[in-house]
Structure 1
Amino acid sequence: MAHEVIMPALGMAQDTGLIVSWLKNEGDKISAGDAIMEVETDKATMEVEAEASGFLTNVRAKAGEDVPVGDVVAYISESADEVVEGGEKPKAAAAKDEPAPAEEAPKAQAEPAKPEPAPAKEVSVTPANTGDKILASPKAKKLAFEEGLDIAQLAAKGVPQPYHVKDLEQLRGAQGVGTSTVSGPQTFHIGASVPRKKLDAFKDWFKTDHQTKIENRSIWLGFATSAFRAVLEATEKDVCVLSSEAGGYLSYLNADRRKLVEIAPSESNAAPNFILRDLTETAIDMVQASAAVCPTLSIARSKKAFVVSLAYQSDQLSDDQALQFVAEFTARLNEPLRHLL
């Protein structure tokens, strides 16, 4: 028996969902738990997983279509060519509020048959016919944000939507990679390394003394916010950090004014002073990021040290400020108790 794939409710007040893209093609064999499509609501773009195993058949809605919650968009069948009764693709709906043409009285003489009008061509999904909404996968959006790429330029080039990671190559090339032409502020980088043993010893002491564990991210947030405040001498001002976490970004306001074990995301809409990337749980041990939005502080891990990298532009920080920021941050990592006293 075929299993229905319905448009899920991903939010409390959601009435419809926009299909950003199909991750599986009609006829593909899939297993329960496989991601089969990306759906966008007013608040997020999420992958929808298959609830059964079989073949994706009778796809009824295309990428770019807004589908009411609960409507069937496809089926998972036992065979790739199974046709589900009532599962055919819906025909184009008649225009709303348009009265049906009245029947004409029979004419005395039959008129020659008029040629049937050519069927309208299918319109591709572009910003012009989707309310200027750009359709792109969550990973493509995230990478574009991190690299300072403008996805809207793909639409201007006529690249069909939805966009995926591979489409970003066209934007990287368009920004003059490998050429001598410089447009806008340049990105500069400062790197440093700090032995891990001192911070590891501090974490062990804290766990024994306070009977609780400190996460690395809390240390980065608290120490980096304090270092940035010292650089700008912003004693009375708020310092907001945008932290890259679990494929998204969370905002932390004045993390240095909280206990390390109490640092938590805030609901503030304040513009970030800098972005923090914790790469210590990955295999990455060096990074040179862009800084299109604001300075970006990345922390990676080698065998014996933490590797710190700051990316910034001249209109965000002066060279002296950037050097002081890295120096202040690494000093706190070398002497953790200094931050607590």
Structure 2
Amino acid sequence: MSHDVIMPALGMAQETGLIVAWLKAPDDVVKTGDPLMEVETDKATMEVEAQADGYLTGIRAQAGENVPVGEVVAQISDTPEDTAQAPASDPNAEAEAAPETSDASDIPEGAQIIMPALGMAQDTGHLTAWHKAPGDAVSAEDILLEVETDKSAVEVPAGQSGYIAALLAEPGEDVPVGTVIAVISAQKPDNPVMRSAKVTNAPAPKSEAAPPAQTAPDKGSKPVPFTAQQQGRILASPKMRRQATLEWLDLERLIEAGVPQPYHMADLDQLRSLTTTAASAQAIPQQAASRHLTAELSADGLADFLNWIETETGAPADSSAVLAGLAAGALADTTIVAVERFGHRRHFAAPAQHPLGHAPETEDAPTLILRDLRGSALTGLHLGPEDAPVLTLTGRASLTLTLEAGSAQMTPATALDLITGFAARLEMPLRHLL
């Protein structure tokens, strides 16, 4: 008996996953929980574990290949020689069992949301509940639905901002992995759709290009990791990437030192050493010439203000654009504000000169950096000055605002004006509009 290894969905909007590297060779013995391969999407990199004991056989996709979600990429078999194939299907039986389908033309256009694979052995997900109704406004971070498998129950975020144009499955239904279950449109739909998965069973879109023919790997040979450095991506295990973020370590230093990708926790000590060496030459002058100020404030004012914007406009608020405007309003000569949230950075041009939340984006270098780390476990930090003054927002129920800047970047009086002005705007954002 063989067990299929499928490409999992790491997010609701994911259609394919890039195999970074196989961590086991053909015919290797594997145990449940052993890392099998590394998979990367545009939002995450993860190690995929084996869900059964046996031997790795029938590898169908190689490192560097993008594979559609739900597609079988290998098998775990009882013996090294076992290459069991799925039994041929009976066309007549399929015709009899096929659910009634409807014309796909009546499904609104928009971003298609699929049933994610929450585990490698998962074929279907049990839709427990929808948290949004047809026509509702939704942001990417909002919980869209609850999914239950035989091992877990998970709240799944929308992954897209917009409006619920269609819900294509009902609570209580088992939906195959990779099936489109919702559509999120940019504009509010005139006639949002709600129907059962038994009526509409639309598969997730596949790439039109036929996959390249794969050559069976030699037995006993170790797979070669895929190097994506030339494509501008850094490949690292989720644990390594998370720890580097918490310690504010730059993975680019490993690339500069010639350390091959992908990176794992075993590379962390070397990254720390490289970071310490690079900073040692300027550490003393930076420490002696830095401004470090902190402020404590309630999180209620900002949360209520973002909710108010959504109520007034009928669309989710762009929190990064709003924060850029509030920060720029506290410092008159701020021209470019960079807002960074967990590694994703956007630059806003002259936010104080535009309606709040509507400043245009630019590629120009920032004059002020704002790190939005709300929701993280961090409660404070002391990293030293950078190329521009840095405001960092941390905390959950209450917020901590930290300002770090070099003495050449701003005077003590300017630093005090910036942090106190921004803190006041965060606690009473409506003051910015008056």
Whole-angstrom distance in 2 between the partners of 1:173 and 1:142? 18
C-alpha displacement of 1:189: 4.8
| TM-score normalised per structure 1 | 0.58
Residue equivalent to 2:433:
340
C-alpha displacement of 1:340: 2.0
Q: Is 2:53 the partner of 1:55? A: yes
Whole-angstrom distance in 2 between the partners of 1:8 and 1:219? 30
**Match for 1:193: what amino acid?**
A
Whole-angstrom distance in 2 between the partners of 1:202 and 1:39? 36
C-alpha displacement of 1:167: 1.7
Q: Is 2:30 the partner of 1:27? A: yes
Distance 1:319 1:132, change over 3 A: same
Structure with higher strand content? 2
Whole-angstrom distance in 1 between the partners of 2:37 and 2:374? 31
Could you tell me whether the CA contact under 8 Å between 1:38 and 1:48 is conserved in 2? yes
Within-5 A mapping of 1:4-43:
4-6=4-6, 17-20=18-21, 22=23, 27-30=30-33, 37-40=37-40, 43=42
Could you tell me whether the CA contact under 8 Å between 1:56 and 1:75 is conserved in 2? no
C-alpha displacement of 1:329: 0.7
RMSD: 5.5
Whole-angstrom distance in 1 between the partners of 2:38 and 2:306? 43
Question: 121-130 vs 185-194, which deviates more?
Answer: 121-130
Distance 1:26 1:18, change over 3 A: same
Residue equivalent to 2:346:
251
Could you tell me whether the CA contact under 8 Å between 2:324 and 2:339 is conserved in 1? no
Identity over the aligned pairs, expressed in percent? 28
Whole-angstrom distance in 2 between the partners of 1:9 and 1:184? 47
Within-5 A mapping of 1:163-312:
163-176=263-276, 181-182=281-282, 186=286, 188-196=290-298, 200=300, 222=322, 225-228=325-328, 230-234=330-334, 237=335, 239-244=336-341, 247-251=342-346, 253=348, 257-259=354-356, 263=357, 268-289=362-383, 292=386, 294-301=388-395, 306-312=399-405
SS class of match (1:186): helix
C-alpha displacement of 1:172: 1.9
Could you tell me whether the CA contact under 8 Å between 1:242 and 1:272 is conserved in 2? no
Whole-angstrom distance in 1 between the partners of 2:366 and 2:242? 17
Name the count of aligned residue pairs: 291
Distance 1:330 1:150, change over 3 A: closer
Distance 1:183 1:23, change over 3 A: farther
C-alpha displacement of 1:163: 0.6
Whole-angstrom distance in 2 between the partners of 1:69 and 1:252? 33
Structure with higher Rg: it is 1
Whole-angstrom distance in 2 between the partners of 1:329 and 1:337? 13
SS class of match (2:74): strand
Q: Is 2:166 the partner of 1:66? A: no
SS class of match (2:263): coil
Residue by residue, what CA displacement relative to the aligned partner does 1:20-51 show, whole Å, maximum 9, x if unpaired? 46499951214xxx98543246x55543767x
Distance 1:206 1:147, change over 3 A: closer
Could you tell me whether the CA contact under 8 Å between 2:393 and 2:400 is conserved in 1? yes
Whole-angstrom distance in 2 between the partners of 1:37 and 1:9? 14
| TM-score normalised per structure 2 | 0.48
**Match for 2:294: what amino acid?**
A
Whole-angstrom distance in 2 between the partners of 1:324 and 1:195? 16
Match 1:318 to one of 410, 418, 421: 410
Distance 1:69 1:309, change over 3 A: same
Whole-angstrom distance in 2 between the partners of 1:323 and 1:153? 34
Structure 1 unmatched runs, 5+ = 94-120
**Match for 2:267: what amino acid?**
D
Distance 1:155 1:127, change over 3 A: farther
Residue by residue, what CA displacement relative to the aligned partner does 1:313-334 show, whole Å, maximum 9, x if unpaired? 467x334444432132123235
Could you tell me whether the CA contact under 8 Å between 1:39 and 1:46 is conserved in 2? yes
